[in-house]
Amino acid sequence: MRFASIGSGSEGNGTLIQADGQGAILVDCGFSAREALSRMAGYGLVAEDLAGILVTHEHTDHIKGVARLANRCRVPVYTTWGTWAAKLNGVLDDQLFRMITPHEHFQLAGLSIQPVAVPHDAREPCQFVFERQGTRLGVLSDAGSVTPHMIECYQNCDALMLECNHDLKMLADGPYPASLKRRVAGPLGHLNNQQSADMLSQLERSGMQHLVVTHISQKNNHPDLAVAALIESGACCEEIIRVATQNAGLDWISVQAETVTN
């Protein structure tokens, strides 16, 4: 299994996941359809390579180009009823809507996919864990709090894409109006560096090969602060950390099947 980010942050998100010899899955498309296709080309993919688009929730930085890309390229869209009702109803061709629920895993493009309900200020948001023959990739952003359910779902990931949205002090001192600061830091907002580090320290992660920091705020955080928080918590060593950025995303990363040694 391999994965990549075509861009990560409040200006637009998109994650590519592909099992060996299978079509690719795009999780969220917060870019225009044209921009997404142009970015995907940089990862060696064309629209025909897409087996499906998964949508975590209806905020613009995740859903902006979804309907147009899906309609134009005839790609099915997997999302919850709440997300569909919020922004896709009437825009996405009905024939392309595949309803998922956060309580049931489903199969797509050689992957078993477990949706994970998260606390975020959207209608029915969920994040995902992808599994292929025992190899697990967790994708988690846009959550205001860490719930016991999330801790349970993200155990034993071989790779994890984890939101480190803001540094609490930078947010407090930063340019956002007070109401937006409250929203971002609130229980239905975004994970700050410390919350993500604390969550990571609660996960069984001995087999973790890659930790990718995502959804970093360009105004209220700095990649160095996020990485430092993860390392200082003792939850993660520097060697496995990568950062997905707004403009450059992150190049393909391969997750190897675990080799069992005696």
Residues that bind Zn ion (CB under 5 A): 59, 61, 142
What is each CA distance from 200 to 15, 75, 151, 213, in whole angstroms? Answer: 20, 34, 9, 12
By beta-carbon proximity to Zn ion, the closer residue of 135 and 214 is: 214
By beta-carbon proximity to Zn ion, the closer residue of 35 and 142 is: 142
Least distance in angstroms from the C-beta of 122 to Zn ion: 6
Query: Contact at 8 Å (CB) between 14 and 29?
Result: yes
By beta-carbon proximity to Zn ion, the closer residue of 135 and 217 is: 217
By beta-carbon proximity to Zn ion, the closer residue of 61 and 158 is: 61
Query: Contact at 8 Å (CB) between 220 and 231?
Result: no
Least distance in angstroms from the C-beta of 11 to Zn ion: 10
Least distance in angstroms from the C-beta of 244 to Zn ion: 13
By beta-carbon proximity to Zn ion, the closer residue of 83 and 135 is: 83
Give the residue at shortest CB distance from Zn ion.
59
Least distance in angstroms from the C-beta of 145 to Zn ion: 14
Least distance in angstroms from the C-beta of 30 to Zn ion: 7
By beta-carbon proximity to Zn ion, the closer residue of 61 and 124 is: 61
Least distance in angstroms from the C-beta of 69 to Zn ion: 18
